[in-house]
A and B are shown apart, each in its own frame.
Chain A
Amino acid sequence: MKKKLLAFGFATFILLIAACKKEQTVTEVSTSPTATVQLNFTNFIDGQAVALGLLNYSNAASNKYSVSLLKYYISNVELISKTGTVFKANNVSLIDAGSSSQNVLTMKNVPAGEYINAKFNLGIDSARNHTGVQDGYLDPSYGMIWSWNTGYIFFKHEGQFINSSKQTMPLRLHLGTDKALTPVIVPINLSINGNARKIELRFNLNKAYTNPATIDFNTDNDRQSTAAADETWIAGMKNNLNSSFNILIIE
């Protein structure tokens, strides 16, 4: 009897120890293995990787321009499979062309499947756009919030350009406000089957300034999304940004 009791007690003990484990992820019913997908954000101007400070780029309006700073938010990345299932990263990433470490999003436990579309927002959705009392990349010390009008700057390009009178002029483009939130869908051909994958989300800055709206820095060199006069620019940028990204499969 004593032995039996001891054995029983021991079993209880083991059970309880096991039950003590924190973060018991939902047991997978399916046997398909999940995978980690690393998403690298890269910034290009047509075929070239963005180099800061070079007054040598040319946009569709034939403005010669430079990039001294290029930052933008990519949030709520989703991978959509052939069968319609959605993997949500629930991320807020701040892409910075001047940073080598910041431009990576690691998505863990992506279920097996054939992914055909990637979806994300350029910007911050309205639920998180109206207070700076937030952490991570939404911390106001990243300088991506307007302090006089609570809301995030979704996209920031600063630099110089050469105007039609051949003068070098400042370029300051700050895109934001709820109406500037840009949902983007990019086709992808990604098969997940347990192996870690690496993909690249490539942004072409020149595409942000053309098709359908050609942005000419002679008139649009200083936009802060604050005046009625900025509204046409905001709408144009939104339409352009929508098709300024593509995805490459690296591994």
Chain B
Amino acid sequence: MRLLKFTFLFLISSIMVYSCKKEKPIKDLENRDPIPFNFIIPAGMPPMFIPADNPLTVEGVALGRKLFYDPVLSANNTLSCAGCHRQNFAFADSTLQFSVGITGATGTRNAPALFNLGWEKKFFWDGGAATLEDQVIGPITNPIEMHDTLTKVIAKLQKHSLYPPMFKKAFGSDSITTKLIMKAIAQFERTLISANSKYDEYKQGKIKLDEQEWNGMQLFIGEKGDCNHCHVLGSTFTDFEFRNNGLDSVFADEGRYRITLNPDDMGKFKTPTLRNIALTAPYMHDGRFKTLKEVINFYNSDFHLTATLDPNIALQKRGRLNPIEINDLIAFLNTLTDKDFVSNVNFSKP
């Protein structure tokens, strides 16, 4: 009898506890949770920080990719993110020094290439955007770029036939917000990983560099070429720091100082990665150099001494590289091109 009593009570309790659970309706295909994106960090690349509140999902990445290629994000529906970030140029803007906004206006900075962004710490040349998500609203609202307002973009997406269901699948809600637009585009951008160049194959022991490339690599890491202090050899090819590389003695663009108002940041810009560098001409924050030869000539002899000049450059002797060595360095930089990346169909217009 006692046993029966206990069984009975246990049964009731179980039923009640079970009924206490939050309603969990059986999810149909429309309402199922998004599928985690199978994200593989290539060997040799560091672990990537992914914000806890924006994990990558198949649906989120697909939505971000569609948004990235959709001119609906611009005021007159003519310019998408991809309009100035083209895959065949490693998501830099062709060979234009300054990209052209919807009104025909141009800015003062060269559109950066987009890849390996998950490892970056700050965004834009001056690091003004705190996160990859925060970066998203810059070009959309900038009057000289896509020149739209977030309120209008949300209204356009909300009445679009495809977007509300895509937001629902990715984020569980078809009520579109700025936050979700930021998250989706950032998700897609984090998938843009480039780490399969000739150099990577060499590092994995699959191939050998030719003599000129190998000589270039020695110059790159050695004190003479001294690229390695900032464009660290091996994985990301940047230290993500802000530095004054001696481009000017008077700063037309104050760079990082504009963000921090710290005099020590005058004329500093983010060290860009050197991966795919052969594809992303022109060079420097203002695209002033058309070729890698011009760039190396500048570092070899033409840098300007100012108070905030990076010490790694300030301590260098002018004219230390001869023309052969300059060509060797260029040969090595050409091994950093990732042909798979620029032809990867997962990154192209959906």
Contacts and interface: CB of A to CB of B under 8 A. Distances in A.
Interface of A: 1, 5, 8-9, 12-13, 16-17, 19-20, 130-135, 139-141, 143, 145, 147-150, 226-228, 231
A72 B13 CA distance: 53
B343 interface: no
Interface in B6-60: 8-9, 12-13, 16-17, 19-20, 51, 53-54
A12 B11 CA distance: 11
Contacts of A150: 128-131, 134
A16 B150 contact: no
In the A-B complex, the 6 residue pairs with the smallest Cβ-Cβ separation, listed nearest first, are A16-B16, A141-B150, A150-B130, A149-B128, A147-B138, A150-B134
B52 to A, nearest CB: 12
A218 B12 CA distance: 78
A228 B13 CA distance: 68
B317 interface: no
A9 B150 CA distance: 58
Interface residues on B, range: 35 or more
B151 interface: yes
Contacts of B183: 133
Contacts of A9: 8-9, 12
Interface stretch (B174-182, B238-246, B285-293, B332-340): B174-182
A226 B260 CA distance: 9
Contact of A13 (B16, B124, B133): B16
A111 B178 CA distance: 37
30 contacts: A5-B5, A5-B8, A8-B9, A9-B8, A9-B9, A12-B13, A13-B12, A16-B13, A16-B16, A16-B20, A17-B16, A20-B16, A20-B20, A131-B131, A131-B134, A132-B178, A132-B182, A133-B53, A133-B131, A133-B133, A133-B182, A134-B179, A139-B177, A141-B177, A145-B137, A147-B134, A149-B128, A149-B258, A226-B258, A228-B261
Pick from A1, A17, A139, A231 the residue with the most CB of B within 10 Å: A139
A16 B149 contact: no
Contact of A148 (B124, B133, B151, B261): B124
Contacts of B138: 147-148
Contacts of A145: 137
Given A9-B12, A148-B138, A226-B258, A20 B19 contact: yes
Interface string B144-165: 0000011100100000000000
Given A9-B12, A19-B20, A149-B128, A131 B133 contact: yes
A5 B11 CA distance: 13
Nearest to A151: B130
Contacts of B261: 227-228, 231
Nearest to A141: B150
B178 A147 contact: no
A91 B141 CA distance: 27
Nearest to B258: A226
Nearest to B123: A150
A149 B142 contact: no
B259 interface: yes
Contacts of B3: none
A132 B8 contact: no
A147 B20 contact: no
A8 B13 CA distance: 12
A12 to B, nearest CB: 6
Contacts of A1: 1
Contact of A139 (B8, B53, B142, B178): B178
Pick from B138, B149, B179 the residue with the most CB of A within 10 Å: B179
Nearest to A130: B130
Nearest to B132: A133
B144 to A, nearest CB: 11
A147 B142 contact: yes
Contacts of B19: 20
Given A16-B20, A131-B130, A134-B179, A140 B137 contact: yes
A147 B137 contact: yes
Given A5-B5, A19-B20, A139 B179 contact: yes
A130 B134 CA distance: 9
Nearest to B183: A133
A132 B128 CA distance: 13
B180 to A, nearest CB: 9
Nearest to A149: B128
A150 B131 CA distance: 8
A147 B141 contact: yes
Contacts of B182: 132-133, 140
Given A20-B20, A133-B182, A148-B124, 5 more contacts: A9-B8, A12-B9, A16-B13, A132-B133, A140-B182
Nearest to B16: A16
Nearest to A10: B12
Nearest to A8: B9
A141 B131 contact: no
Interface in B156-202: 177-179, 182-183
A133 B183 CA distance: 8
Contacts of A17: 16
A161 to B, nearest CB: 24
Contacts of A135: 177, 179
Nearest to A230: B261
A140 B151 CA distance: 9
B9 A132 contact: no
Given A9-B8, A13-B16, A19-B20, A133 B134 contact: yes
